[in-house]
Copies of this chain bind each other. A is one copy, B any other.
Amino acid sequence: MKNYFIARARRLRTTPYTSRIEKQGVTAYTVYNHMLLPAAFGSLEDSYHHLKEYVQIWDVAGERQVEISGKDSAKLVQLMTCRDLSKSKDGRCYYCPIIDEEAGIINDPVVLRINENKWWISIADSDVILFAKGLAIGNKFDVKIIEPNVDIMAVQGPKSFKLMEKVFGDKITKLKFFGFDYFDFEGTKHLIAQSGWSKQGGYEIYVENTKSGLKLYDLLFKIGKEFNVKPGCPNLIERIESTLLSYGNDMDNGDNPYECGFDKFINIDSNIVFLGKEKLKKIKTEGIKKKLMGIKFDIEEINLTESMDLKDERSNIIGELRSACYSPHFRKVIGIAMMKKPFWEVSQIVKIEINGKTFDGKVCDLPFI
């Protein structure tokens, strides 16, 4: 596959870490929330193996925050998601599909409840701030909505705990998964969550004080040598194996949360008020007609740049492959596909055409691992 350059401009915003990662060998970018998100430091597979064994520092500033504060903030946040947040607690993160009135997914952020009147929506790639502003204006809600100056630095991998302990002490190892708290670094408080875009464990540091954050970035590399620290970024292979769904890749506004397997984040039976609730009830009654499933192919390579048709024996389209990579763990290509009913059953055979050749794949459950 031919590679193409990315044309740089102010519109594809740099991050506070950009000059550093460029010295550290970033080779490819993607664009996420109008911002550069590093996508490779050389070989994806080398980076994958390293991430699973050691620790990496990631510039994930592209995960922007939508800050909603004020008297009606809880009401607005709840209005946007089908997940019941009525019993949510300060200092906790919540994975919350955001849907519209037709129950189409708009984003799948992690929502941080800072307190009852202040929330951060840590967004995937769509302008949730515009949806929130539109809803707030239309409903005359008493809220303030901004994109705060927050640039997340992630510390990911099994050695992240030891590395972070060296800086923040024992207290940080006690942080629960999806919990967050404030930690001091040389006199500056940083909001840190035990979370991240990998299943190898780690933290996300919500850097508000850029100067202190950059100092911390440099320090982590300096003192992380004993743990073989390297720069990295969300890794395509790791995230597919771990089945961390990606908005825009695995799902989009044409899909509803039931189709994406988000059942446990849908609370249609509670008293909460959210958009698309009636539509979700209808969908639940009628049943879904497509569903995200895993697929495994006995091939050693794939370059997916857009949806690929999955067909049956008679060349009928029965599904759409949306993400895929070669998995070193399974020693085959694995992918995430939206399968039509009734072809989503495990072991269903699918056919895919790559460079004029047809290969067989088999439907499997998600997550892969």
Q: Residues of B contacting A133 with CB < 8 Å?
A: 100-101, 131, 134
Q: Is A248's CB under 8 angstroms from B34's CB?
A: yes
Q: Is B246's CB under 8 angstroms from A11's CB?
A: yes
Q: Residues of B contacting A127 with CB < 8 Å?
A: 126-127, 130-131
Q: Residues of B contacting A125 with CB < 8 Å?
A: 11, 34
A228 at the interface (CB under 8 A from B): no
A144: shortest Cβ distance to chain B, in Å?
A: 10
Q: Residues of B contacting A136 with CB < 8 Å?
A: 134, 138
Q: Residues of B contacting A1 with CB < 8 Å?
A: 8
CA distance A125 to B22 in the complex (A): 25
CB-CB contacts below 8 Å: A4-22 with B: 4-14, 18, 22
Q: Is A10's CB under 8 angstroms from B307's CB?
A: yes
Copies of the polypeptide in the assembly: 2
Q: Residues of B contacting A5 with CB < 8 Å?
A: 3-6, 27-29, 40
Q: Residues of B contacting A126 with CB < 8 Å?
A: 34, 127, 130
Known: A127-B127, A275-B137. A306 touches B28 (CB 8 A): no
Q: Which size class do A's interface residues fall under?
A: 35 or more
Known: A6-B5, A7-B29. A137 touches B137 (CB 8 A): no
A57 at the interface (CB under 8 A from B): no
A238: shortest Cβ distance to chain B, in Å?
A: 15
23 examples of A-B residue contacts, CB within 8 angstroms:
A2-B22, A4-B6, A4-B8, A6-B28, A7-B39, A9-B236, A9-B249, A9-B323, A10-B248, A10-B306, A11-B248, A30-B31, A100-B137, A101-B133, A126-B127, A127-B131, A130-B131, A131-B131, A131-B133, A134-B135, A134-B136, A134-B137, A135-B135
Residues of A near any B CB (own CB < 8 A): 1-14, 18, 22, 26-31, 34, 39-40, 100-101, 106, 125-128, 130-140, 236, 246-249, 275, 303-307, 322-323
